[in-house]
Chain A
Amino acid sequence: MKKLFVSALIATMFVSTLAACSSNNEPSGSASAPASSAASSEKPSEPAKADPTGFSISMRTLNVSYVEQHPDINKDKYVLELEKMTNTDLDIRLIPHNEYQDKMVQMFATNDIPDVVQGSGGISGNELAGAVPNGVFLPLNDLLKEHGQNLLKFIPQEAWARMTDSKTGNIYGIPEILSNPSRRATWIRTDLLEKTGKPVPKTVEETIDVLRAFKELGVEQPYAGRKNFKYADTFFGSYDVLGYLNSFKQFPDGKVKPSFFDAEAMKKALLAYKAMYDEGLISKEFATVESADFKSIVTSGKAGMWSMNANELPIWGAQLMANVPGAKVALIPSPVGDDGKGGYGHYNPVTRSYFINVKAKDKAAEIVKFFDWMVGEQAELFFSYGIEGEDYQTDGSNVQYVAPTDEEGTNKQRYLNYWLWMVQDTTYNKRIADLSEPGKMMVDAFDNMLSKEGRRGIEFEPRLEALVKYPDLNPLSDQLPPLVLEHVLKMVYGKEPIDNYEKVLEEYLSKGGNEVIEEATARYNDKDNAFE
């Protein structure tokens, strides 16, 4: 009995120490790599290859349901096929989408860093927790010259610039790119527009007229508003006062300031929103509309006009038409302001990025080859359609592929097109888009309309020290800084006069804004990691 007690006790202590020392970083995939799964299946047509290169890679799930519902992504047939094609043996560690930053920081803090780390954007994103300056990752310049020629050709210079430490010239990561950073579009219900008998609106005034006509038709929400003006910033875009991280501008006085310092333009935008609020063209309670409500408002046919990512056109469009018989939707040029331009905040040209751990030095060449393969012809076919002979047929030149319509099929396609294809131009998948009418419309909108609109200015990466120090002045990627947002929203709701906007700017300056502008101006003049 006593013996039993003692051994139980030792076991308890052992377990609790283990639990304390191990990281509580639990990716939903299994941590044990299937060692022999890839090696055992070689193509008979090829001579025996060297052993596959095994490496671990952390990847965010990105809300892709195929990935999140998979019992073990490392045993997925497409992952196995990818391993076969590239002669690798991947150990994918999934990072939950909603806890991405926390889990990444945990990963670095516990020093449980995989061979390849997936970031989202440049070398100084918060999710990397300062890993690059702390020497966690390998500089890739020589490896890319030797094994990554296709990557160097495919990826534009401005994307490489985001992956480069401007002081040393070292490239630290391989970026996935967005050749067209103008992602968001103005959507309109063309069936309702026909009923009003008005042409497609071009200016802000014309747009508000159309919204009024929608109201008369009995449309519940002529313009779909949303909390914090997220995806409801159309008119801030028209007047170029978005004030996001990439919207700094050089003002006539030579200083670099956030774009909302153009007080006259901001007041025009606010007057437009206030008129919409007063006349009921935007929901009176848009300040509490969350993203899920927003989607249901749009897809249930309650809205006449809204802003959304253009690549949702095939999906949202289909849902809307299923719910509202006779509904038609189109992407139109965004309303233009005084300078004849409009549009939404541009995205970062780098979407996901891949960093190689210093400790994986001996595998680094093979890892670079793996990513180099991603931008080739074979990869394009595989990630667009799937496995040859199973998902699609080909006679060498023509491809026969039936686009899926059921949920399971579309989930799988999204997983291949968007998630597993790690390095690509992720603006849209041309091969898939060409298969359907809405897809062709979307491509047309991206290539001929969105590429000509959108707002961008100067961006600093790593972000300004002053913005980290004063969180109230720190804009999110697509929201005004909290301090400005609070006042602007109150002005639209009529709780504060719009004429007070200069006072808001004064407040901004007095609460740390002077430091922000000083630092921005200095960095812009020194060309210190400032991107235009």
Chain B
Amino acid sequence: MWKYRTLYLISIPGIVYFLVFKYVPLLGSVIAFQNYNLFAGFGGSPWVGFEHFERMFSHYDFLRILKNTLLLGAYDILFAFTAPIVLALLLNEVRLTLYKKLIQTIVYAPHFLSWVIISGIFVGMLSPSSGIANVILGWFGIDPIYFLGEDSYIRAILVGSGLWRDVGWGTIIYLAALTGINPELYEASEIDGAGRWKQTLKITLPALLPVITVLFLLKIGDFMDYGFERVFVFQNPLNIQNSEILDTYIYKAGLKQLQYSYATAIGLFKSVVGLILLVMANSLSRKATGESLY
């Protein structure tokens, strides 16, 4: 203990930060079991047990909202999680450094746009009268489609816009991992007669696996947190059947109506589901690949 005192000392600010900003606010979750009154505080608000959870589960649209949340989460893992890996592998094959840097800069850029701007861009691009998407469809003689006015396209638009925004950003960590691979491995495999494809399969991917696993597990933990804003900016009554998720419902039913206890209850439900998924995925991955978060 005394031997490493300086190490302990410099770790204290971090520990204090987590205590003050992460652990203390967790105690605020008790308001999910109360009828929280702002002025009475959580010392003085009446306890109501699981009333808010019952209200949530008995809501006539609960199953639809949950289905949307799960589906969007699943699509997001299927497409938005795998795309950066593929892109990083492709970028890794580009030999011309200048060209590679240029591509990287272009794909990073959208990450710094706010969702409001992105929705503006997408609404413009998908507009039936002036949008580029419908102009292209027009070349093939297809009538303009009002993409945002349909339930059927909205999930694709949500996942697609997220993909476009963050795919470049997601490659950073993979590219960093790729630079750490020992080039001698590739040289040795070439002598053994492996082509580029075999090398990717037998050397690059196994080297990336630990990083992929960790990121995947973190993503699973956020499975229910698709994000409020990214959905809200695309929503309208014509596509709400398929785009209403827990996050947007919390905003409408909880925060806007000052129903903080109800909003907290839904949030808590999301966190608990996320935790269960994380623990399950972690033990599965430890058994399957030997890689895990803890």
Cross-chain contact A287 with B6 (CB below 8 angstroms): no
CA of A130 to CA of B238 in the docked complex: distance in angstroms?
Answer: 34
Query: Which residue in chain A gives the minimum CB-CB distance to B146?
Result: A285
CA of A109 to CA of B258 in the docked complex: distance in angstroms?
Answer: 12
Cross-chain contact A228 with B237 (CB below 8 angstroms): yes
CA of A19 to CA of B37 in the docked complex: distance in angstroms?
Answer: 24
If A17-B20, A126-B257 touch, whether A493 touches B149 (CB-CB below 8 Å) is yes
Cross-chain contact B149 with A126 (CB below 8 angstroms): no
Cross-chain contact B39 with A108 (CB below 8 angstroms): yes
If A108-B39, A471-B253 touch, whether A486 touches B237 (CB-CB below 8 Å) is yes
B24, CB-defined interface residue at 8 Å: yes
If A5-B9, A12-B12 touch, whether A288 touches B149 (CB-CB below 8 Å) is yes
CB under 8 Å from chain B, chain A span 268-291: 283-285, 287-288, 290
B39 proximity list for chain A (CB < 8 A): 108, 130-131, 134, 136
A16, CB-defined interface residue at 8 Å: yes
Query: How many whole Å from A260's CB to the nearest CB in chain B?
Result: 15
Query: How many whole Å from B234's CB to the nearest CB in chain A?
Result: 9
Interface segment among B84-92, B123-131, B268-276: the answer is B123-131
CA of A126 to CA of B260 in the docked complex: distance in angstroms?
Answer: 12
Which of B12, B236, B252, B258 is the one whose CB lies under 8 Å from A126?
A: B258
A435, CB-defined interface residue at 8 Å: no
A131 proximity list for chain B (CB < 8 A): 39
B9 proximity list for chain A (CB < 8 A): 5, 9
Query: How many whole Å from B57's CB to the nearest CB in chain A?
Result: 15
Query: Which residue in chain B gives the minimum CB-CB distance to A495?
Result: B238
Query: Which residue in chain A gives the minimum CB-CB distance to B41?
Result: A109
A39, CB-defined interface residue at 8 Å: no
A227 proximity list for chain B (CB < 8 A): 236
CB under 8 Å from chain A, chain B span 141-160: 146, 148-149
Query: How many whole Å from B142's CB to the nearest CB in chain A?
Result: 16
B70, CB-defined interface residue at 8 Å: no
Cross-chain contact A105 with B38 (CB below 8 angstroms): yes
B129 proximity list for chain A (CB < 8 A): 283-285
A9 proximity list for chain B (CB < 8 A): 9, 12-13
B60, CB-defined interface residue at 8 Å: yes
B123 proximity list for chain A (CB < 8 A): 288, 290
If A284-B129, A493-B238 touch, whether A468 touches B257 (CB-CB below 8 Å) is yes
Cross-chain contact A489 with B237 (CB below 8 angstroms): yes
Query: Which residue in chain A gives the minimum CB-CB distance to B40?
Result: A134
B240, CB-defined interface residue at 8 Å: yes
B185, CB-defined interface residue at 8 Å: no
Cross-chain contact A16 with B17 (CB below 8 angstroms): yes
A 84-110 to B, binary, CB cutoff 8 A, 1 in contact else 0: 000000000000000001100100110
B259, CB-defined interface residue at 8 Å: yes
Query: Which residue in chain A gives the minimum CB-CB distance to B126?
Result: A288
Query: Which residue in chain B gives the minimum CB-CB distance to A11?
Result: B13
CB under 8 Å from chain B, chain A span 496-522: 511
Query: Which residue in chain B gives the minimum CB-CB distance to A21?
Result: B20
Query: Which residue in chain B gives the minimum CB-CB distance to A17?
Result: B20
Cross-chain contact B148 with A16 (CB below 8 angstroms): no
CB under 8 Å from chain A, chain B span 16-44: 16-17, 20-21, 24, 37-40
Q: Interface residues of B toward A: which range?
A: 35 or more
A495 proximity list for chain B (CB < 8 A): 238
Query: Which residue in chain B gives the minimum CB-CB distance to A507?
Result: B60
Query: How many whole Å from B265's CB to the nearest CB in chain A?
Result: 14
A186, CB-defined interface residue at 8 Å: no
Query: How many whole Å from B204's CB to the nearest CB in chain A?
Result: 43
Which of B21, B149, B253 is the one whose CB lies under 8 Å from A20?
A: B21
- Tally of contact residues, A, Cβ under 8 A: 39
If A130-B38, A486-B240 touch, whether A284 touches B146 (CB-CB below 8 Å) is yes
A144, CB-defined interface residue at 8 Å: no
Cross-chain contact B128 with A285 (CB below 8 angstroms): yes
Cross-chain contact A287 with B259 (CB below 8 angstroms): no
If A16-B16, A20-B21, A287-B149 touch, whether A108 touches B253 (CB-CB below 8 Å) is no
A490, CB-defined interface residue at 8 Å: yes
Query: How many whole Å from A386's CB to the nearest CB in chain B?
Result: 36
A485 proximity list for chain B (CB < 8 A): 237
Cross-chain contact B236 with A228 (CB below 8 angstroms): yes
Cross-chain contact A130 with B37 (CB below 8 angstroms): yes
Interface-central residue, A285, A468, A482, by most chain B CB under 10 Å: A285
Cross-chain contact B236 with A287 (CB below 8 angstroms): yes
Query: Which residue in chain B gives the minimum CB-CB distance to A284?
Result: B128
A 19-45 to B, binary, CB cutoff 8 A, 1 in contact else 0: 110000000000000000000000000
Query: Which residue in chain A gives the minimum CB-CB distance to B237?
Result: A486
Which of A5, A108, A288, A472 is the one whose CB lies under 8 Å from B236?
A: A288
CA of A126 to CA of B258 in the docked complex: distance in angstroms?
Answer: 7
B 241-258 to A, binary, CB cutoff 8 A, 1 in contact else 0: 100000000001101111
Query: How many whole Å from B281's CB to the nearest CB in chain A?
Result: 33
B20 proximity list for chain A (CB < 8 A): 16-17, 19-20
Query: How many whole Å from A96's CB to the nearest CB in chain B?
Result: 16
CA of A17 to CA of B259 in the docked complex: distance in angstroms?
Answer: 29
Cross-chain contact B149 with A109 (CB below 8 angstroms): no
A129, CB-defined interface residue at 8 Å: yes
CB under 8 Å from chain B, chain A span 54-87: none
CA of A291 to CA of B19 in the docked complex: distance in angstroms?
Answer: 43
A217, CB-defined interface residue at 8 Å: no
A247, CB-defined interface residue at 8 Å: no
B40 proximity list for chain A (CB < 8 A): 134
A 229-252 to B, binary, CB cutoff 8 A, 1 in contact else 0: 000000000000000000000000
A324 proximity list for chain B (CB < 8 A): none
Q: A20-B20, A129-B38, A486-B240 are in contact. List 4 more A-B contacts (CB 8 A).
A: A130-B37, A134-B38, A486-B241, A511-B60
Between-chain CB contacts (< 8 Å), 20 pairs = A12-B13, A12-B16, A16-B16, A16-B20, A108-B38, A126-B256, A129-B38, A130-B37, A130-B258, A283-B129, A284-B128, A285-B127, A285-B128, A285-B148, A287-B238, A288-B149, A472-B61, A482-B240, A482-B252, A495-B238
Which residues of A line the B interface, CB within 8 A? Answer: 5, 9, 12-13, 16-17, 19-20, 101-102, 105, 108-109, 126, 129-131, 134, 136, 227-228, 283-285, 287-288, 290, 468, 471-472, 474, 482, 485-486, 489-490, 493, 495, 511
Which residues of B line the A interface, CB within 8 A? Answer: 6, 9, 12-13, 16-17, 20-21, 24, 37-40, 60-61, 120, 123, 127-129, 146, 148-149, 236-238, 240-241, 252-253, 255-259
In the A-B complex, the 7 residue pairs with the closest CB atoms: A134-B39, A486-B237, A471-B253, A12-B13, A489-B237, A20-B20, A485-B237
